[in-house]
Each structure stands twice: as C-alpha cells, then as structure tokens.
C-alpha cells in the first residue's frame, strides 16, 4: 500500500503544477457550484493542463467577483457564509450581505473563524540564506514572540531595547526585547510555531479528519478523531522539532519530515520517518530503498515514568539528522551515505523539507509542549539546554555569544561588531517569555504573522485587543487575513432547515416563506427574521421531512425531462402510465414522457438525491428517518439536489476516504449493477477522486483512483494475496476532450464478480475476464471519495446506482426501446400495457406476458430531453419533480408541475426546495472518435472492435 501511495503523490508532484498553475486566484464569491458554468476544457490540442472556457456544453466563464461578499464566516458546525464583517463585540458578530434586508447577528460562541482576505499560498517555498536578486529593500525577519506568536516584516532596533516590526505601510509593532525569543532574517517567514498551553497556537495545523478537534486539559493538548496532524513549512536549511509528550503517549508516535508536504504513509526522496517508543527508537531515511533501523533505549531510559521530551534536529546543509531524548543524544546520522557524494560522483542535491506531520498508531496524539523553529547547527550534548546565552549565527558559520545592540536597514551591531543585514542571520535571545493567559482569539496576518489575543473587539475598521507584549494593541482591520476563535465542544443542535447558496454557503434556521419571484423569509437560529433576495440562493433543505417514514422498497420511473418518481406501477397502456405515490397519491403520466421504468420494487434504484443522510454516513440505515442519530460532528459536505460539494482543505487529508466519502449499501436483489457519477473540480483542473467497490465481509474489493491523466487500480483479491494487484492506465490519449468534469460509469456483475470501468464514455479497463480475478459479490457497498489536494471545491453530481441490463454502452447510446429481464435476457421494444400484474411486450414470436417481478428495466427509447424549470422539489422518499411555479408558507407547498399538474404538499412531505435547478444530464456513451484510440489491453481492443462492427 505504501508503494501505491508513493505513486499517487509522485503523479501529483509531476502533474500538479502543470494542471493548476493557472488557478492561482480564489474562486469568485458568486461562483455557482451547482451549475455547469464551472466546467472547463482541459487539453486543447492534446496538451493536458491548458484550460479554455467551455463552449460546446453550455458553460460560460466564471462570474466576476461580487461586491459585498469578500469575507467568509465559518461556524463551528462546518458551515460558511460569505459577506462582510461589520462589528465584533465581546458577545456577537455583526454580519452584512448585499442580498439580505438587514445585518445578521450571530452569537460569538457559534463562530469558529472569520476570513477577511483569502490566499492560496499555504506552502511557502523559497531558498533561505539568499537575498532577493535585484532588490534594494532590506531583508525582512521572522520575530518569534511568546507561545505560538510570531511576526514577519522589516525589523529595526535603535538601541536593542525594543524591536520595531513594520508589517505594512502605516503598521509598525513595537515589541520589548524581553518578549522576543529569536530573530531570523530571510526573504520569507521561517517556521515559528508550536504549543505551550494555548490551543489557538495549533490553528495552522492540518488535520486528517474534518470532524477532528483539539482540547487542552491540565496543560496537555489532545487531538481528537485525528489519526494525524501536519503542517506545511518553508524549507529552512536547518530546523528543529522539539516536543514533550506524556509518558504513555510515547509508544506508537511517529514524526514525518516530508519533501513534498505534510502527509504520513507516503515516501519520496528525502522522506524521514521516525517512530518513538519506550524501548526503542526506529528511523527510516528514504533515498533509494526502504530500511527501518532501530536503536534500543538504555534500560534506565526505559524505566522512566516522567514525560518524555525530544529534539529532532534536521541539517539540510550538512545532510544529517540528530535526535535527542530527555537531554540524551540518541544518534547523529547522515541523510545520505558518504559514497553518494564521493569524488567523481555527481553531487546529490540537498534534501529540503517542506512538510511535517505526527501520527500515532496506538493512542490519541498528545503534547505537553511543541515547537518548530530554525536551528543554528550546534549539536547538543547531554545536559545542555536549548539556549543558555544570547548568540548569533550567519549561514553555516558557528554561532558566537554576545548581545544584539541595534538593527538598521543595512546592518546589525552585535557586541560592538558591525555585520551586513543578510539572509540566514539567526539571533537567539535567552529570554524566558510567558504566553498570554486566557486568549479568546487568534489574529492571523497571512505570511506576516499570528498573534493570540484577549478582549478582541472590531469596530469602525479598527482591531483592539491585548497581546502578550502589549496590554493595548490596535491595528487596522484591513491588515488581518483571519480571525480565529477557540474550538468549543458543542452538543449537536436540534434539527433545522438549511438555506443553501449557489456558491456553497449555508445558513441554518427556519424557512418562513418562499416563492419563485418573491424574497425568501428566514428566521436564524437566534430568532432574527430577515428577507433574502433569491438570485444567489440554490435552495433549502427542510428538516421536517426527516420525520416522515419513507419505505425503502419502491418501483421507480424516470421521465424524459430528468424527473424521477418512486412508488407503485398501477397501470400502463399506449397513452399513459398510472402510478401510486406514497405522498402524492394516484398520478397519471403521459407515455411520451417516459424514459426508464424499474417496476420491481425489490431491485433498488438510488440516486444522489435520495436519502442524503445515508449517503453521508450520518445515520444508520433505518426505514424511519425520525429514529436516526447523527454520528458526532456535522458532515463536511455541502449537499442539495443530489449534488455533494466538499469544501477545499488544501491538503491530501484522509487518503482512504473513510471519513469524507459518500457511501451507499446496495439493497435488493440486483445481480447486475450500474454505478455512475460525475465529478467536477471547480478550480479549473482535472478532478482527483476515487471509487471503492466492496463485496460483503472480506470477499474482496476494487479501488479505482482517477486523476492526473491516469486511472490507478488496486484489486484486493483474498484468493490471490501474493498476486500483483496494482495497475496504472493512462487516460490522456483516450480522453481527447477531457474537462474539469469527469464522468464515471462502472458496470458490475455481482454474481460473477466482474467490473467494467468507463470514463467520459471511453472503456478504460475490464476486471474479472480471467476467472481467477473475479470477485463474486462485488458492489455490495459503493463509496465515492475525493482526494482533497486542491484549494478548490470538488463537486460530486448525478450519482446513480441501479440495475444493469448486462450490455455495455455502445456508440450512439440512446437506441431503440427494450425490456430487460431479471434472468439476463432482453426483449426488443417496450411493454404495450400492464394487465393482471403482467407486462405485455410484442416480439418476433408473438406477444409475451412478463410478470412485473421478472422485469428488471424498461427502456422506452430515445434520448433524455432535459428542460429548464423555475424550481425542483425533492420529496421525502427521494422523488424529484420540476415545477414552473411554487409557493411555501411555512406549512405547505403549493406548486404547479408540467407533468403532474397542480400540487399541494404538507411540510413533512418536502425534503428540498431547489431554485433555478441545473438541467438533468444523460449518462455518457462512447463516441465514434473514441474508437480510434489505442486500447489499454487486448481484451479492451476486442470489445471496441465488436462495438465498431456493430
């Protein structure tokens, strides 16, 4: 599995910059994530990574930035809302939007953070020890302050007693020398973060789980529900990671130093994996082979019961690694063997680290103290303390003791000696600083620093608060990038409606009234009643529908305009279909509107809009939705109308997709399944996602990863545990018209154990052609998950799982009418009528009478004919109906449907009300131009040849 992960990371490293170099701006705040305008072409002229606006699929350029939506408010439950902060008091946040009737007021306790200026530069990559070529500006410096505080800017000091840090024009902070731990001069900030009792200092760390949180008790920080935490850092030539942990947290703890970003269980040239323990210490320095080497701990060390402290010292200049445990050196190792740099050999490039992470395979991650900072190269001896006296080092030179007397724009004076102000200059003070007590917020200035503060207020464009170095600190609000409030363990709130905006924003509360051409009236959780203009609204999820019992067994009819109804087939003739719906009662549909019919209620048909709680794994599979109990924190997904949007995280968190995936357990008696979805990367590059098909128990699984121009396949076959089970299938030549949206179709024969993967209409690979490779029962569970390596949202849409007639897609796709039987046979033509529980179908041998339970699917022929509608309603049972007028008064929905006529539905019957819905998409079929591409395997060539002959 490690090898598989390494290849995925390598592909990302090689392909990522080319695919995303154009996408360096935050998505416009009015981007419609539920529409088709986010779809772009990728490989014009076969050059993957060249992005051009879509012209042949109805999509347009991303809309311009909307005024009044420049800030982002994030709540503790994971929701976000764009707008502008007006005021922050001790008790509330006042928020303004251009589409709401008055300023919104939120209790400060429900707010997690406020983003005032967005930036995608999470990973600061630069070469330290050098000044910027051609620049006459003085080299800036990182200033380390108490706790996790730091600032970066132009540093001067007239007398050495105070340090002035100029962060921007008109903003200079004056800091007493006693509050400064160290200075490091360089063109960009160096690592200056850690934990010393305040959880706010850990805000910059990435987590492997969207539901993870950190708590502090008795001075010890514990990371809950997080298998690992990590942080990006600029590749400083020399740095140290120092930490203290409780004695019981030693075993199983690992530290990863990574050359490609914070990620465990991944290996690239220069990866350092360190595993700690009470009996031995294990290291792996990956250059060209895997070799875990262990160092036994002395018996006296094994017997210690006190907290354990470590210093891990990385020397990129000398290419070595030093580890110290409880003040005793464990070892000093070369990163590369001496022969690699021997005379006559090409000098190996320096290893630079730009990501670190911790994980623990046995316990929760726990820290008493943690810091990451530059290191001056002095190897500590037993009994040494980190800094005994003030000292200065420049580049690779040995440090000298003395006193910093002044700093000007051009030079430093250290113990009477003048020296140029140069990158790589490191001044360490011998100050015992004290972090701020009872901090209630953290101010982030982007690459300019982070400060924990108390008594925070924002009013009239000014930020006022207390810091560790200033009892009265004031800066302009425009200087801030983010305001962060402490994590608060909060009980799950009672169910509420969710107002969903087209850009992915959400606001919980209660829908009071709505109509297609009238303002939407809304009550927030704290009781404020406001009106929203509807132009930016995607729709509303209604909490009342969760109390309605929805039967899992039902027949399904799909209409030619994309509507879908669940219920019971009552009658069918040459002009109409009569249907019994649990919530609508008897309905009649004109036969010309029919597209697909699945009359057997035991053959489950599921789309993404049916039962979102089950897709998200937030509730156990029960027929009574009222009995469902959410699991812990709210899902990170934004969802509406069968679309599931994962907000960007900026890291490749949760590689296995166990906590951020969309999963469906297939019910019913389907022996052949079709699984399909569309995945869109909203930022203009190819989506990177996976699908996992599993059999019951340990009977095997197939994991497919799509992204970076490849399909990577991993087959877990318990019958052949030693067989090579990983394959990489290039897609660039097959997907000639690749876009930022990828269409996936998988055809699974669960009885035999085969699977056929189609991407954008092209056959990619067939699994199970050899009897030894088959996995009977495959597809019992289906899971989709993104790899969140993007700074942009990933959108899953058009999810569908249902019966498959056994035939692979052909060129032309939508053909003549046909009736597929449960035994695998098919009859040309659609049934003429339903009589005495049997469907009557004409055939070459005369009229056939087919019991409904023997019919798997009916295709009425022809193509999908999507239509634009004013709205769409989704019912509690998963049915989807387009409407041209609608009105909601808080108690019932009155609407008109071109298909069903006038509708009047009670509050509990409606699960979602969608504004301006995107037209339905038909499944993608092979196109003639696809057939000229080189197939990936002989068996694929045979299939394509057969299709071409047909």
Please give the DSSP secondary-structure letter assigned to residue 892. E
Percentage of the chain exceeding pLDDT 70:
83
pLDDT digits (tens, 9 = 90+) for 454-507: 999 999 999 999 999 999 999 999 999 999 999 877 677 888 999 999 999 999
pLDDT for residue 813: 65
**Distances 284 to 270, 281, 326, 334, 842 between C-alpha atoms, Å:** 10, 11, 21, 12, 70
pLDDT for residue 771: 86
- Is the model's pLDDT at 724 over the cut of 70? no
Please give the DSSP secondary-structure letter assigned to residue 935. P
pLDDT for residue 697: 82
- Is the model's pLDDT at 625 over the cut of 80? no
Closest CA to 371 of 182, 148, 146: 148
pTM of the complete model: 0.86
**Distances 275 to 166, 307, 318 between C-alpha atoms, Å:** 41, 17, 23
Give the helix, strand, coil percentages of the chain, each rounded to 5: 10, 45, 45
pLDDT for residue 654: 41
- Is the model's pLDDT at 58 over the cut of 60? no
pLDDT for residue 441: 96
Q: Which two tokens stand for residue 707?
A: 């992204």
d(C-alpha 444, C-alpha 149), whole Å: 10
Q: Give, for 390, the enclosing helix (H) or strand (E).
A: none
Cβ within 8 Å of residue 234, ≥6 positions away? 124, 125, 126, 128, 188, 189, 190, 191, 354
Q: Name the 3-class secondary structure at 536.
A: helix
pLDDT for residue 932: 36
More confident call, 541 vs 721: 541
d(C-alpha 208, C-alpha 263), whole Å: 9
Tally Cβ neighbours within 10 Å of residue 700.
Answer: 22
The residue-averaged pLDDT of 643-654 equals 66
Cβ within 8 Å of residue 722, ≥6 positions away? none
Rg (CA), the chain: 31
pLDDT for residue 357: 95
Backbone CA torsion sign across 485, 363, 718, 731 = positive
- Is the model's pLDDT at 721 over the cut of 80? no
- The alpha carbon of 56 is separated from its chain's Cα centroid by a whole number of angstroms, namely 29
Q: Which two tokens stand for residue 696?
A: 């019951």
Model confidence at 655, in pLDDT bands (50, 70, 90)? very low
Model confidence at 509, in pLDDT bands (50, 70, 90)? very high
The residue-averaged pLDDT of 865-885 equals 95
Report the range of poorest mean pLDDT among 184-188, 389-393, 492-496, 521-525.
492-496
Give the residue carrying structure tokens 């490609």: 260
pLDDT digits (tens, 9 = 90+) for 349-384: 678 899 999 999 888 899 999 999 999 999 888 766
d(C-alpha 391, C-alpha 408), whole Å: 19
d(C-alpha 307, C-alpha 302), whole Å: 12
Computed over every residue of the chain, the mean pLDDT equals: 84
Report the range of poorest mean pLDDT among 113-117, 172-176, 209-213.
209-213
Question: HSE of 659 in the Cβ direction (CA atoms, 13 Å)?
Answer: 20
pLDDT for residue 781: 94
CB 358 within 8 A of CB 312: no
pLDDT for residue 933: 39
More confident call, 622 vs 198: 198
pLDDT for residue 132: 36
Backbone CA torsion sign across 125, 128, 130, 131 = positive
Closest CA to 48 of 19, 20, 21: 19
- Is the model's pLDDT at 729 over the cut of 60? yes
pLDDT digits (tens, 9 = 90+) for 119-150: 544 333 333 333 333 345 789 999 999 999 99
Closest CA to 143 of 133, 153, 135: 153
pLDDT digits (tens, 9 = 90+) for 558-609: 999 999 999 999 999 999 999 999 999 999 999 999 999 999 998 889 999 9
Report the range of poorest mean pLDDT among 170-184, 803-817, 873-887.
803-817
pLDDT for residue 816: 84
Which residues, in sequence order, are bridge partners of residue 201? none
- Is the model's pLDDT at 875 over the cut of 50? yes
Report the range of poorest mean pLDDT among 18-27, 251-260, 544-553, 656-665.
18-27
pLDDT for residue 169: 77
Model confidence at 11, in pLDDT bands (50, 70, 90)? very low
The residue-averaged pLDDT of 804-819 equals 83
Give the residue carrying structure tokens 């509990």: 908
């Amino acid at each position: 599995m490690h090898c598989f992960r390494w290849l995925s990371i390598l592909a990302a490293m090689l392909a990522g910059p080319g695919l995303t170099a154009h996408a360096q701006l935050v998505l416009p705040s009015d981007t419609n994530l539920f529409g088709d305008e986010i779809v772009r072409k990728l490989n014009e002229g076969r050059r993957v990574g060249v992005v051009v606006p879509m012209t042949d699929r109805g999509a347009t350029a991303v809309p311009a930035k909307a005024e009044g939506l420049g800030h982002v408010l994030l709540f503790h439950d994971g929701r976000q809302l764009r707008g502008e902060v007006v005021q922050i008091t001790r008790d509330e946040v006042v928020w303004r939007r251009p589409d709401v009737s008055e300023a919104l007021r939120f209790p400060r306790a429900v707010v997690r953070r406020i983003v005032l200026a967005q930036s995608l530069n999470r990973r600061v990559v630069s070469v330290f020890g050098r000044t910027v070529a051609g620049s006459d500006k003085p080299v800036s410096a990182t200033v380390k302050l108490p706790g996790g505080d730091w600032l970066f800017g132009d540093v001067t000091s007239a007398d050495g007693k105070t340090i002035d840090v100029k962060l921007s024009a008109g903003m200079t902070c004056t800091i007493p020398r006693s509050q400064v731990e160290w200075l490091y001069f360089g063109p960009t900030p160096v690592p200056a973060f850690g934990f010393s009792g305040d959880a706010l200092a850990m805000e910059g760390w990435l987590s492997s789980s969207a539901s993870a949180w950190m708590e502090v008790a008795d001075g010890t920080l514990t990371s809950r529900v997080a298998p690992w935490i990590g942080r990006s850092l600029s590749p400083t030539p020399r740095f140290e990671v120092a930490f203290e942990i409780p004695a019981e947290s030693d075993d199983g703890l690992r530290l990863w130093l990574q050359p490609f970003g914070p990620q465990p269980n991944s290996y690239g040239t220069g990866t350092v994996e360190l595993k700690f323990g009470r009996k031995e210490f294990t290291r792996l320095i990956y250059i060209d082979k895997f070799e875990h080497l262990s160092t036994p701990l002395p018996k006296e060390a094994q017997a210690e019961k006190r907290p354990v402290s470590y210093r891990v010292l990385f020397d990129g200049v000398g290419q070595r690694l030093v580890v110290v445990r409880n003040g005793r050196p464990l070892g000093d190792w070369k990163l590369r063997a001496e022969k690699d740099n021997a005379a006559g050999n090409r000098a190996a490039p320096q290893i630079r680290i730009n990501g670190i992470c911790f994980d623990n395979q046995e316990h929760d991650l726990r820290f008493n103290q943690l810091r990451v900072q530059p290191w001056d190269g002095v190897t500590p001896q037993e009994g040494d303390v980190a800094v005994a006296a003030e000292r200065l080092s420049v580049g690779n030179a040995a440090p000298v003791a003395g006193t910093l007397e002044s700093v000007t724009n051009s030079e430093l004076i250290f113990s009477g000696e003048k020296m140029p102000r140069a990158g790589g200059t490191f001044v360490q003070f011998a100050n015992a600083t004290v972090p701020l007590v009872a901090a209630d917020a953290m101010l982030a200035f982007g690459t300019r620093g982070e400060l924990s503060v108390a008594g925070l207020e924002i009013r009239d464009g000014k930020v006022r608060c207390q810091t560790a170095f200033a009892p009265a600190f004031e800066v302009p609000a425009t200087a801030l990038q983010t305001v962060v409030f402490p994590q608060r363990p909060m009980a799950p709130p009672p169910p509420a409606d969710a107002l969903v905006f087209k850009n992915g924003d959400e606001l919980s509360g209660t829908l009071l009234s709505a109509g297609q051409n009238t303002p939407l009236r809304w009550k927030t959780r704290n009781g404020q009643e406001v009106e929203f203009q509807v132009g930016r609204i995607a729709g509303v999820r209604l909490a009342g529908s969760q109390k309605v019992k929805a039967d899992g067994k039902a027949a399904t009819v799909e209409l030619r305009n994309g509507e879908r109804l669940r219920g019971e087939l009552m009658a069918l003739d040459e002009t109409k279909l009569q249907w019994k719906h649990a919530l609508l009662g008897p309905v009649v549909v004109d036969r010309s509107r029919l597209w697909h019919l699945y009359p057997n209620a035991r053959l489950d048909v599921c789309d993404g809009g049916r039962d979102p709680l089950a897709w998200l794994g937030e509730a156990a599979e029960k027929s009574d939705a009222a009995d469902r109990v959410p699991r812990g924190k709210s899902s990170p997904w934004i969802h509406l109308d069968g679309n599931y949007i994962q907000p960007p995280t900026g890291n490749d968190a949760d590689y296995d997709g166990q906590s951020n995936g969309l999963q469906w357990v297939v019910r019913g008696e389907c022996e052949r399944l079709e699984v399909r979805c569309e995945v869109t990367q909203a930022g203009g590059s190819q989506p990177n996602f996976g699908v996992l098909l599993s059999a019951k128990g340990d009977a095997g699984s197939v994991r497919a990863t799509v992204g970076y121009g490849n399909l990577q396949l991993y087959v877990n076959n318990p019958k052949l545990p030693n067989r090579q089970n990983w394959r990489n299938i290039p897609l660039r030549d097959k997907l000639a018209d690749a876009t930022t949206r990828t269409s996936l179709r998988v055809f699974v024969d669960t009885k035999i154990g085969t699977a056929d993967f189609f991407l954008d209409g092209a056959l990619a690979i067939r699994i199970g052609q050899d009897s030894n490779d088959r996995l009977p029962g495959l597809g019992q569970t289906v899971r989709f998950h993104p790899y969140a390596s993007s700074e942009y949202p990933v959108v899953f849409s058009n999810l569908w799982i249902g019966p498959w007639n056994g035939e692979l897609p052909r060129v032309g796709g939508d053909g003549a009418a046909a009736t597929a039987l449960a035994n695998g046979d098919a009859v040309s033509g659609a049934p003429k009528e339903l009589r005495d529980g049997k469907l009557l179908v004409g055939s070459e041998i005369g009229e056939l009478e087919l019991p409904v339970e023997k019919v798997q699917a009916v295709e009425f022929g022809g193509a999908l004919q999507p239509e634009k509608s004013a709205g769409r309603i989704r019912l509690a049972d998963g049915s989807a109906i387009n409407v041209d007028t609608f009105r909601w008064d808080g108690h019932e929905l009155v609407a008109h449907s071109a298909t069903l006529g006038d509708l009047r539905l009670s509050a509990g019957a409606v699960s979602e009300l969608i504004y301006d819905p995107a037209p339905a998409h038909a499944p993608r079929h092979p196109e003639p131009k696809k057939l000229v591409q080189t197939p990936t395997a002989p068996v694929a060539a045979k299939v394509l040849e057969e299709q071409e002959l047909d």
